[in-house]
Amino acid sequence: MDYKKINAPTNTVTRDVNKLFKDTGNIYETVVIIGKRANQISVEMKQELNKKLEEFASVADNLEEVFENREQIEISKYYEKLPKPTLIALQEFEEGRIFYRNPETASKTKA
C-alpha cells in the first residue's frame, strides 16, 4: 500500500454516525469492520517498517552506531507522521473501498 497517496486525516475528525451505519444497518457491525481493517493495515505497516529498518541494521552494534543511525531515525519519523491505521480504515470505509460480508445474514437471506 502506498501511504503517500492516502488522504486520511492525521488527527481525529468528527463523523456523522448515521452515515457510518447506513450501509450495514448496525453501528457495532460497522465498528467491527473498521477495526478488522485497521488491524490488517497495522500489520502491513509494521512489516513494511521492519523490512526497511532491517536494511540499515548492522550486525556488530557499538555505542556510536546505535545513537547515530540517521537512516533508521528518518524512516521511523516518516511512519510516525502517517495517519493511524484506524483513521485509514475509516477513510476507506467511507469511500466504499472495503469489501465485507456477514456470513450470518448471507445464509439467512438464501434460505
pTM of the full predicted structure?
A: 0.81
Q: Could you tell me if residue 29 is inside a domain? A: yes
Q: Could you tell me if residue 100 is inside a domain? A: no
Question: From CA 63, how far away is CA 78, in angstroms rounded?
Answer: 24
| Cβ count within 10 A of residue 67 | 8
Instruction: Say how many domains are in the chain.
Output: 1
Mean pLDDT, contiguous 10-residue spans, the chain (111 residues): 77 87 92 96 94 77 61 88 92 91 68 42
pLDDT at position 93 is: 94
**Which of these, 45, 39, 43, 30, lies nearest to 100 by C-alpha position?**
30
**Which of these, 51, 55, 43, 52, lies nearest to 85 by C-alpha position?**
43
pLDDT at position 62 is: 61
State the DSSP H helix or E strand holding residue 54, giving kind and residue range, or none if neither: helix 27-55
All three cell numbers of 93, joined, read 470505509
Q: Could you tell me if residue 41 is inside a domain? A: yes
Q: Could you tell me if residue 3 is inside a domain? A: no
**Burial class (CB within 10 angstroms; exposed 0-12, middle 13-18, buried 19+) of 37:** buried
Q: Could you tell me if residue 1 is inside a domain? A: no
Q: Could you tell me if residue 47 is inside a domain? A: yes
Q: Could you tell me if residue 20 is inside a domain? A: yes
Domain range for 77 is 12-95
pLDDT at position 38 is: 96
Q: Could you tell me if residue 81 is inside a domain? A: yes
